Amino acid sequence: MSTHEAGISGELRRFLRGGVSLEEHKEATAQTPITTFIPAEVTIPLAQHLGPPAQAIVKRKQVVQRGELIATAEPNGAPVHASVTGTVARVALSPHPTLTEAPAIVITVDPNAAAPQCTDDPAWATLPRDVMLARIEAAGIVGLGGAAFPTYRKLRLPDGVRVDTVVLNGAECEPYLTSDHRLMLESPKDVLRGAWLLAQIIGAQRVVIGVEDNKSDAAVVLQAAVEQLSLSPAPDVLLCRTRYPQGAERQLVEALTGRRIPARGLPLQVGVLVQNVATAIACYQAVRYQQPLLDRVLTVTGPGIGHPMNLRVPIGTLVQDIVAHCGGLDARTAMVIAGGPMMGRALGRLDVPVIKGTGGLLFLRVDDVQREPYGPCISCAACLDACPLGLEPNQISIYTEAGRALETESFGTRECFECGCCAYVCPAERPLVQFIQIAKAAFQTGSAIGLGVRPGVVHG
């Protein structure tokens, strides 16, 4: 069935400016159904979200059930639950994918434990908003698109703010990653119910789901599910042009609704709430089954891993266990990235856990990441063409390199959301995102940090 037959209407949605066309590399896992892997031990960090870390309420040797609360939320934080049934081995500082080291609860999995019963609330769709919101808060759900902002905080609108549209992010514009694609294909109804639910909670009248046209099969499946479910309001499934960073909030809102979010602003300011498809499913499961966020679906991929696949793992599964499960590392593997190749974060070690916000694991070999030392800016303007916001990364980098980071405000330093398009196209291979990060740090501290390099000298 083509997208046309499925009734997906209109031309491809696109954002206004810039962006880059990337090699997708999604073929390795796009057709691979999600499978489940449960390790022998999980390490569940207390800090997995934006906000204060949770407080552990379990002790060593305590037996915990999957779904049981093991760390309570601090104000503005999110709670943490046992993702497996087993015994607490220790509560201790452990390696963390983004924080180097952080407190975590280590649980040894009981392989013989029965799957816990889940309660189905038949009245889920008619619950009061605050009950729905409370269940989402209690489930410890955070944005699964990568930012890991506690979802209940996003849904609790400030006074006077009205949101009329929920935008569901099914763009998955990072190369290699296919986990959102698989979720849309395999659980389209849960995605839609989740989106509908979010609209109920915030009182939005419209739900729009944006899917890049390299995943038109998912759009077709979603559209078919829309027709079967007859939700009101019925979600609109819209195809977006496949172009990075289509999945960034600003670009997605612009492409789907035509509204432009103010500089340094939020979608709320133009009456839009954006959520990722995986987050929508989690919200649906939290409200209907009162099931906390326990698992993470992620794509394990790249030329450095033996068997690329889409995996569902309990939160806290160590990367090294996933590596072993996926056929081990290629000997030439040089980088392991949590997330996609554009905005993902390089991991220095494999004994770190998958956390709520881990969108994928990408294994790249030496040849894939080979780089020349960077050179001087040659004013080719490629970064200006690529920037989706119309900023001036060339100038920010030149000023920052010269120790004049504090003078870069007018070039848009504060607006940059670090999508990496500029650095991707820069022929001098200048680490433009890093320069911008340095400039942002300079604003924070008020001191211009020079790199102490002389112009024209190449340095790695």
Least distance in angstroms from the C-beta of 165 to other proteins: 17
Work out how close the CB of 2 gets to other proteins at its nearest, in angstroms, rounded to a whole number. Answer: 31
Quote the CA–CA distance of 104 and 315 in Å, as a whole number. 12
Q: Work out whether the CA dihedral 127, 131, 137, 140 comes out positive or negative.
A: negative
Our finding on whether 308 is near other proteins (CB under 8 A) is: no
Question: Does 141 contact other proteins by CB under 8 A?
Answer: no
Question: Nearer Cβ to other proteins, position 200 or 400?
Answer: 400
Closest CA to 221 of 250, 183, 257: 183
Instruction: Output the furthest CA–CA distance in the chain (Å, rounded).
Output: 68
Instruction: Specify burial of residue 293 (Cβ count, 10 A radius: 0-12, 13-18, 19+).
Output: buried
Query: Considering beta carbons, is residue 123 or 331 the nearer one to other proteins?
Result: 331
In the range 257-296, which residues lie near other proteins by CB under 8 A? 260-265, 269
Q: How far is the CB of 215 from other proteins (least distance, A)?
A: 20
Residues 413-432 that bind other proteins (CB under 8 A): 415, 418, 420, 423-425, 427-429, 431
Considering only 150, 185, 388, 413, the residue that binds other proteins (CB under 8 A) is 388
Residue from 231, 283, 387, 439 in contact with other proteins (CB under 8 A):
387
For position 456 contacting other proteins by CB under 8 A, the verdict is: yes
Separation CA 183–CA 31 (nearest Å): 12
Burial of 44 (0-12, 13-18, 19+ CB in 10 A): buried
**Segment interacting with other proteins, rule: CB under 8 A, options 55-63, 68-76, 440-448, 452-460:** 452-460
Q: Is 412 in the site for other proteins (CB under 8 A)?
A: yes
x/- track of binding to other proteins for residues 199-238 (CB under 8 A):
----------------------------------------
Of 56-64, 202-210, 341-349, 442-450: span binding other proteins (CB under 8 A): 341-349
* Least Cβ distance, residue 256 to other proteins (angstroms): 15
| CA atoms within 13 A of residue 392's CA, in its CB half-sphere | 12
Whole-Å CA distances, 205 to 53, 196, 218, 238, 363: 35, 10, 24, 17, 42
Q: How far is the CB of 344 from other proteins (least distance, A)?
A: 6
The yes or no reply on residue 253 touching other proteins (CB under 8 A) is: no
**Between 66 and 430, CB nearer to other proteins:** 430
Alpha-carbon span 58 to 430, nearest angstrom: 48
Distances from the Cα of 253 to the Cαs of 9, 167, 213, 317, 417, in angstroms? 18, 7, 16, 34, 15
Residue choice 348, 409, 445, 453 for contact with other proteins (CB under 8 A): 348
CB of 198 to other proteins, least distance (A): 22
CA dist 238 → 26, 185, 322, 328 (Å): 21, 15, 34, 38
Q: Find where tokens 């980088």 sit.
A: 335
Please name the helix (run of DSSP H) or strand (run of DSSP E) that holds residue 95, with its range, or none: strand 86-96
Q: Which residue's CB is nearer to other proteins, number 110 or number 368?
A: 368
CA–CA separation, 128 and 371 (whole Å): 55
453 touching other proteins, by CB under 8 A: no
Per rule CB under 8 A, is residue 337 in the interface with other proteins? yes
